[in-house]
Amino acid sequence: MRDLPRHTAFGNFIEERSQQNLIVRRVAPRARTSPRIRVKGVTSAAAMYTLTPDPNSVFRCSEANSMSLIPNRRCFGLIVLLTVLQGASPVPAAETVAACTEMLHAGRYEDCLKATTEAIANRSYGEEWPILKAESELALGRYPETLETIAAGIERFSWSVRLRLLEYKCALANGKREQAALALVETEKLVGSAAWRYTDAEDLVALGEIALALGADAKAVQEGFFERARRNYANHPDGFLAAGRLALKKGDVAFAAELLSTAEKTMPDQADIAFLLSEAYRTSDREQAATLLQKSLELNPNFAPALLRIAEQQIDAEDYTGAEETLKQIWTVNPHRPEAHALQAVIWHLRNNAEAAEQARVAALKFSISDPQVDCLIGRKLSQKYRFAEGAEAQRRSLAADAEFVEARVQLAQDLLRLGQEAEGWEQAELAYKADGYNTTLFNLLQLKDSLNRFTTLKSEHFQVRMETQEAAVYGPRVIELLEQAWTELTARYEFTPQIPVYVEIYPRVDDFAVRTFGVPDVTGFLGVCFGKVVTANSPVTRKQSPGSWESVLWHEFCHVITLQKTSNRMPRWLSEGISVFEERRADSRWGQHMDSGFRDRILDDRVTPAAELSRAFLTAKDGDDINFAYYESSMLVEHLVTLHGVPALNAILTDLNDGIQINDALDRHTDGLDELEASFATYLSDIAAQYAGAVEFKTEELTAAKLTDLNSVEEFLKQHPLNFPALLMHSSLLILQERLDDAETELRKLIDLVPHDRNTNGPRRLLAEVYKRNNQSDLEMQILAEHLQYSADDLEAALRLQELCELQKQQESVVELGKSIFAIDPFQPSALIRTSSAAEALGRTEVAVSALNSLLEIQRDDAARLHFRMATLLQSVDPEEARRHVLLSLAQAPRFRDAHKLLLQLVRETSENSEFGKARGY
């Protein structure tokens, strides 16, 4: 962190303000340079203050004398002289400062510019006039004119730090770095000579922003300037806006949301506040963020930051035409807005038109060729489209323009890490952290680095898998085995060989996964993410509350490795996700999304997203059901495409995408076109939905409204709705509670016949298994649980119960197979590992038994002596050296373990005999 030089006046001013509180008994009026007399018709100067240090304050202000003179003959000459010196008496402005401020905040920039120009021409007094005029010109894209306005304002109001801040910003916007630096120097001089002037909200905020530009400590600025502006002027937006922007810039969205929500309640008419609060909620509450974003545009229809955010969202949703319409709306007000041209460059990049993309980039840099924000924005959006190599290249251009632009270095670090270039990625992160120690993204990344240093790396021919050490010992070998199997199948199927090694990282902490994947913690709902060459995934230990197959996650993500690399990340999200889910189902019919009651109702109610807009469904989803349906619909569209045209057509489409051909054109080349595909897909999907459960009713609205609690009321409801599945299920549950098990069995059998493909973990098959368990009908319980597990790869409880029953029935093969299913959900189940190892041992399947015991060893370390001994016994005949290692480890844990001693002697004897035998045979 670069601190301000302590010998400068401004440096001392910042340090004092960051350490003490400010007590102001009287606030100076804004007309600071008029004469220190008060006469009728002439504005008084600022009240004079004597500033004395206080242990608890930056400045304690005590009022000095302030003269109030009545006009008389002696001062008449002075009044005449004052009038001559100041020129003719000012003509009253047609509009007030408040009215012009309202015009500016409402997006009436031309009106504001006209009114302020007239006021300045009429010599209206106050720094607000040139400030409002300059801000209007900025909003309209008249950047050179803005500098002229500011220069004229400074000539008249030389003490204004707000004008100096605007000069700094506008000089940068015009590519005049030397002038920008000079503006900061002049501000230091102003503060050094008259610090007492700057105590109102606008000045405190201006000084805070200038301090940040000079490299001051962000926390000191937040506390010394912005917090004081909020506290002393609670009904003034400037302090809240500045603090909110700084918090968002540093990644502290929680703090930003906290302070801006308070401001939004007290100042609901501020578009800036509504927008910034929307930004704070963007990752945690999409619905509220969207509402606030819309509100900001209702308050100011021309509010460029809100329109830019909408354009970004449209780009994220692959609605490039819509994004261009939004950008045109921005350009009608400001034809030179750099961010708008940068986003247009992104769109051209994504359309694979490099020449047009460069032209848009040049337009973005028209007034400031060295503006680092342009390439930083371009790179960030490309990276969000998983085009990390191009994103990293853009960040390097940004840093070439300004090596101290931390935002670009942070993004570059993340891009490199996602490309698997870890050495340089971590180096860039360290450099960025040295420059900005309060950036939460950097802090989280470097904390993650410390965690990664404690991980173990497992290597195979094509993969490097990084896992927590204990987890690697428990299920790491199975991870490698599964990934290599996926490599063999999918590389052949898609006729593509990815770059090696493929990096896979599995995190036992959700926050570590979120930081590695998204740069921030507290992001939930994701099981795994693929960047092209790097895969990140949550460990099964993070899913104790909602178990699921981690194997299906890794298969899904590796499929992304294939398709993303084959297309150079130039594929729409619906196609990428659709292929991965489609391949999940091909690998294991229980994996991936399948038709269910919710999906059926969406389809029959015509709530299917058109194929051309399907990628948007992932971003506009309001809940997990919406997301799951987006995955399902995408996968079914891919399935339909393959059914009609075959895998070769799908591969040809992926090849075209890599060559820069747009998805619609690729579909036209290798299918009957998007329109035809969409029409036939609608019929295909509707047929599948109609076949699912026939006339069964799944809607719950009436059932919920009825508030049924007892058996009689449910039966009355069923008279009106005899095929209502939720009511029938509730009825069965109540029958079980009343121990009417025969009736419950009959009802549940009926439900299974009605919905034979139900996969719900609380569905009729699971309830029927409970009926058989209560009746001690083990054979029937095993039968129905086995049937249920043909549909579900995620029901840990059912798999554990069935394995237990199979062990009691000595069905050893089933015990072993169920052990694999349980291991694919939760490899940390000791009871399942014990059963699996015993059954495998009984079947003579030594490799399976030893694998289970090795996993168990990491979970039950207090039983290490016995477990090592068991492995030594199993390996005695097939791998004597490994058996000897295990028996020695057993004795290390329990030196008096007699059976282990006997086994060791036996192993030594056998080794010696084998050696003598070999010599006798001449080996």
pLDDT at 30 over 70: no
Q: Can you tell me the distance from the alpha carbon of 150 to that of 133, in angstroms, rounded to the nearest whole number? A: 9
Name the pLDDT band for 482 (thresholds 50, 70, 90). very high
Parallel, antiparallel, or unpaired: how do β-strands 57-63 and 528-530 relate?
A: unpaired
Name the pLDDT band for 195 (thresholds 50, 70, 90). confident
Q: What is the pTM of this model?
A: 0.84
pLDDT at site 703? 87
Is the CB of residue 673 less than 8 Å from the CB of residue 667? yes
Closest C-alpha among 178, 123, 117 to residue 142 = 117
Q: Can you tell me the distance from the alpha carbon of 883 to that of 864, in angstroms, rounded to the nearest whole number? A: 15
331, two tokens: 């350009």
168, two tokens: 């700094």
pLDDT at site 191? 87
pLDDT, one tens digit per residue, over 400-450 is 999 999 999 999 999 999 999 999 999 999 999 999 888 888 888 998 988
Closest C-alpha among 826, 776, 775 to residue 798 = 826
Closest C-alpha among 617, 143, 101 to residue 368 = 143
pLDDT at site 913? 63
Range with lowest mean pLDDT among 156-160, 333-337, 918-922? 918-922
pLDDT, one tens digit per residue, over 698-717 is 988 888 888 888 899 999 99
Q: Can you tell me the distance from the alpha carbon of 631 to that of 525, in angstroms, rounded to the nearest whole number? A: 14
Closest C-alpha among 887, 880, 889 to residue 909 = 880
Task: Please calculate the CA angle 204-207-212 and round it to the nearest 5 degrees.
Answer: 125
For helices 812-825 and 796-808, the axis angle rounded to 10 degrees is 160
Q: Can you tell me the distance from the alpha carbon of 550 to that of 540, in angstroms, rounded to the nearest whole number? A: 6
pLDDT, one tens digit per residue, over 134-167 is 999 999 999 999 999 999 999 999 999 999 999 9
pLDDT at site 910? 79
pLDDT at 46 over 50: no
Cis peptide leading into 268, omega within 30 of 0? no
